Amino acid sequence: MKVLTKVAVSASALAICVGAGYGIGFAQGGQPHMANALGYLESARGELQVAEQNKGGHRAAALSLVNQAITQVQAGIAVGAGM
């Protein structure tokens, strides 16, 4: 029963995230591709943050570049929304 509850909670959380991502795309001036890119970049940032740190500096460099990409996508969304 506990496993079924965990699966149901996980499925519900996933559905909420997907729905929110879809809504964000249209709330940001109908830019679903930019919103999707932002979501993927934020996911990548999360993965890089929890990855083992001993990668010869490459993990930290990748994290920095992903953060820069997030900033650029957010700026692009703002421009596209006429802000």
End-to-end alpha-carbon separation of the chain, Å? 49
pLDDT score of 1: 47
- pLDDT band for position 17 (50/70/90)? low
Using the 8-state DSSP alphabet, how is residue 82 labeled? T
Tens of pLDDT, residue by residue over 33-60, are 999 999 999 999 999 999 999 899 999 9
Q: Is the pLDDT of residue 27 over 60?
A: no
Q: Is the pLDDT of residue 24 over 60?
A: no
Domain extent at residue 55: 2-80
CB distance 34 to 76 below 8 Å: yes
Buried b (16+ CB within 10 A) or exposed e, 45-70: eeebeeeeeeeeeebeebbeebeebb
Q: How many domains does the chain have?
A: 1
CB distance 75 to 31 below 8 Å: no
pLDDT score of 83: 72
Would you say the pTM of this structure is higher than 0.75? no
